[in-house]
């Protein structure tokens, strides 16, 4: 049996329970019970096994997105899960081959995807996002949410920008409970530590479990 036939046979055993199958991709191959086969094409064996990683989605939200795009007089060729699209946009083929975990933090949802041997091995969506980090910063420092958002964007970025150097090592904030002319000085290093600890505290209960 060829690789394509085995993949089609695996897809026949899917039970989506009314949901849509967005992706059904190979996550692990075995040849005669031997593991660690990245690509079985061209290899000979008596038995070929494959584990398939399936990404499911509720039908109505997907159809609503498709109709919204079509309303703008555009055609939809296919629907791609956000974590998979982010992986192909942000990761190189070498990174996906060597092994990497991609954490995509959105406003309300965080997606974690694990890749190795060029395949998607695991995926988890966490119902917590950057808005929760902003709220935690505002609560901890007693500042406005808009100020907390700015602190997060300036001191919480993993990529250095010229704006970081212009801002200097300290950030001046106006506490909402004091006179508008009163200022408090917050160390950017302290803010960075606060953001890191807050993100770790929020995400650790979810990331501690297997994907």
pLDDT of residue 75: 94
pLDDT band at 181 (very low <50, low <70, confident <90, very high): very low
- Higher-confidence residue of 35 and 65: namely 65
User: Residue 50's Cα: distance from chain center in Å?
Assistant: 25
Q: What is the pLDDT of residue 166?
A: 52
112 sits in the region (left: phi over 0; alpha: psi -120 to 50; else beta) called beta
Cα–Cα dist 211/204, whole Å: 13
d(CA 163, CA 154): 8
The pLDDT of residue 124 is: 83
**Contacts (Cβ under 8 Å, ≥6 apart) of 38:** 29, 97, 117, 118, 119
- Tens of pLDDT, residues 87-117: 989 999 999 989 998 988 888 988 888 888 8
pLDDT at 158: 60
Could you give the CA distance from residue 86 to residue 91 in angstroms, rounded to a whole number? 8
Q: Is the pLDDT of residue 14 over 90?
A: no
Higher pLDDT, 14 or 139: 139
Res. 74: pLDDT tops 70: yes
pLDDT of residue 71: 95
Average pLDDT over residues 185-190: 58
When pLDDT is averaged across residues 74-79 and rounded to a whole number, the result is: 92
Residue 153: both structure tokens together = 């964007």
What interhelical angle do 145-155 and 130-141 show, nearest 10? Answer: 110
pLDDT at residue number 143: 82
Q: Is 110 helix (H, G, I), strand (E, B) or coil?
A: strand
Question: Where is pLDDT greater, at 22 or 13?
Answer: 22
Interatomic CA distance for residues 104 and 129, integer angstroms: 9
> Using one digit for the tens of pLDDT, what is the confidence trace for 18-62?
788 888 778 778 888 888 777 788 788 888 888 887 888 888 999
Q: Give the mean pLDDT of 120-139.
A: 85
Residues 6 or more apart whose CB falls under 8 angstroms from that of 96 comprise 87, 115, 116, 118, 119
Ranking 92-106, 117-131, 169-183 by mean pLDDT, the lowest is: 169-183
Q: Are 106 and 76 in contact (CB under 8 A)?
A: no
Task: Name, in order, each residue with C-beta under 8 angstroms of 210's C-beta and a sequence gap of 6 or more.
Answer: 122
100 C-beta neighbours (distance < 10 Å), count: 16
Q: What percent of the chain has pLDDT over 70?
A: 72
Contact of 167 with 188, CB cutoff 8 Å: yes
């Amino acid at each position: 049996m060829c690789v394509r036939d085995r993949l089609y046979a695996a897809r026949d055993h899917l039970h989506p329970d009314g949901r849509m199958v967005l992706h059904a991709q190979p996550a692990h191959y075995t040849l005669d019970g031997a593991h660690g086969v990245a690509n079985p094409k061209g290899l000979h064996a008596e038995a070929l096994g494959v584990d398939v990683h399936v990404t499911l989605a509720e039908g109505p939200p997907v159809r609503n997105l498709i109709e919204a795009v079509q309303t703008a007089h555009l055609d939809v060729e296919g629907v791609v899960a956000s974590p998979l699209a982010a992986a192909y946009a942000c990761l190189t083929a070498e990174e996906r081959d060597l092994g990497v975990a991609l954490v995509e933090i959105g406003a309300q949802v965080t997606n974690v995807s694990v890749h190795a041997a060029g395949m998607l091995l695991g995926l988890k969506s966490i119902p917590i996002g950057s808005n929760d980090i902003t709220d935690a910063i505002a609560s901890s420092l007693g500042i406005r949410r808009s100020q907390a958002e700015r602190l997060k964007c300036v001191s919480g970025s993993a990529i250095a920008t010229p704006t970081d150097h212009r801002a200097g090592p300290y950030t001046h904030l106006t506490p909402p409970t004091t006179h508008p002319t009163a200022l408090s000085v917050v160390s950017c290093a302290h803010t960075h530590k606060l953001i890191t600890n807050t993100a770790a505290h929020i995400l650790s209960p979810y990331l501690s479990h297997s994907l």
